[in-house]
Amino acid sequence: MYVGVDDTDSTEGMCTTYLATELIREFSDFDLIGFPRLVRLNPNVPWKTRGNAAICVRLGKGTGNPRVIGNIDGKELVCYGTGRDAEPEKAHFKRATALIERLAMFEDPKTNPGLAISAHKPPADLYWKAVREVVKLGPHLEHANPKFCHGWKNRRGLIGAVSAMAWRPLDRTYELIAYREPKKWGTPRKVEAASVIAMDKKFPGTFNNYDYEEKHVAFSPSSPCPILYGIRGNAPDYLPAAMNTVKSEIIGRWLIFLTNQGTDDHIINASISNLRPFTSARIRGTIAGMPRIIGGGHLIFPITNGKKTVDCTVYEPAKNFRHVGEKLRPGDVITVMGAVRESPFTINVEKLFVEELATVIEKKANPLCGKCNKRMKSVGKGQGYKCARCGKKAKNSDAEFEVLDRGLKTGWYEPPVGARRHISKPLKRG
């Protein structure tokens, strides 16, 4: 049986992945079939708290060789590659319900937990819709048709609960999440930065660990949640060894999740003419004007497909990524990936590909007077030049020009680690 849960946490505490560890503990009379799943959904839903994560576990009787995927309270946790699903029963539903009622942050008005239990995986399109669009609870839940479900408060958490169950990975990554001892929750985290850098270098299959530009440990959250850090990687095998390289406070428990993080599953191929707010698009176009910096340090540049133009925005937290945008010039051909924001209508850039650089010619010097060997003076904007000594005139085009060194190469660019979305595919993943 598949158990999906979402929307149990708040900015004040808890974490839906921690609840997954408790769920696994509660159902220790079953085997875990496959890794527990941490599924990120549409990062543009207005009501998400942080990274729009939902979780799903599959329970039953495992077959084949077990593999160690975690440790809870000093006890190794294993999962099986295959197995026979347990048949969902009312008693299972009651146990899961009681767990959520004990742990979820109900007092937060934005927390609307959802629990679904199903004998089968719901149709895959439920996942693709929920990762790319804003969906309505009614039809979504009806289509999923789980055997048991309960939504608390406005019931919205059910959207994530069934969508997480519906995920069939095309691309996939893994995350080993290390949790803090409960007595440490809310206090400053102790993780030695040098050991994180060492881990990052030793395990090239991991990503988003350390922000070398901002000199910042990126794999630890800053919220008071139970997570100490999360090591993301292309494969699960080396994640425990990577964890053992990191010097930190005592780890209370850890667990490896199968995830859609770093996959770009949220991106839709689109045209500048048919962008829809609250989706994330990949669009190709030509730079239509000079980039400009607005209040707050955000950078804006317009791109066009010849019929329509849209502004693209790189926000201040993206730091040096803005300098890439600043170097763009009218005529450059680029592809942008990012979230379509409704108001102001703009693309929040997550990644960009410089396909073609326009040749930009800039004036180097005013024309030289052949008679006096002196630089002429401008008469006025667009009105040519005149020699101050002999009065000889010259046209604007007589000035000396040079091809601008763009200081920009064709290729892909992305924001620093700390400014990336969980679901965005880092360039390191190729």
Q: Which residues bind ligand ATP (CB under 6 A)?
A: 6-7, 9, 16, 41-42, 45, 47-54, 112, 114, 130, 133-135, 156-157, 159-160
Main-chain phi, psi angles of 35, to 5 degrees: -70, 150
Please, which residue, 227 or 337, has the CB nearer to ligand ATP? Answer: 227
Which lies closer to ligand ATP via its Cβ, residue 160 or residue 236?
160
Question: Quick one: 114 or 367, whose CB is closer to ligand ATP?
Answer: 114
Closest CB to ligand ATP among residues 40, 172? 40
Instruction: Between 146 and 302, name the residue whose CB sits nearer to ligand ATP.
Output: 146
d(CA 238, CA 252) in angstroms, rounded, equals 20
**Rounded Cα gap, residues 332 and 328, in angstroms:** 7
Residue nearest to ligand ATP (CB): 49
Instruction: Tell me the closest approach of the beta carbon of residue 73 to ligand ATP, in angstroms.
Output: 23
Pairing, β 309-314 against β 298-304: antiparallel
Please state, in angstroms and rounded to a whole number, the distance separating the CA atoms of residues 129 and 136. 10
- Is the Cβ of residue 6 or residue 350 nearer to ligand ATP in the bound state? 6
Shortest Cβ distance from residue 187 to ligand ATP (Å)? 20
Give me the least distance between CB of 250 and ligand ATP, in Å please: 24
Which C-beta is closer to ligand ATP: that of 42 or that of 286? Answer: 42
Q: Tell me the closest approach of the beta carbon of residue 161 to ligand ATP, in angstroms.
A: 7
Give the tokens for residue 427: 């360039």
Closest contact distance (angstroms) between CB of 229 and ligand ATP is 15
Nearest distance from residue 168's CB to ligand ATP, in Å? Answer: 17
Which of 38, 312 has the CB closer to ligand ATP? 38
- Could you tell me the smallest distance in angstroms from the CB atom of residue 208 to ligand ATP? 15
- Residue closer to ligand ATP (CB basis): 46 or 296: 46
Residue in 166, 143, 137, 157 with CA at minimum distance from that of residue 58: 166
| Shortest Å distance, C-beta 380 to ligand ATP | 57
Q: How far is the CB of 158 from ligand ATP (least distance, A)?
A: 7
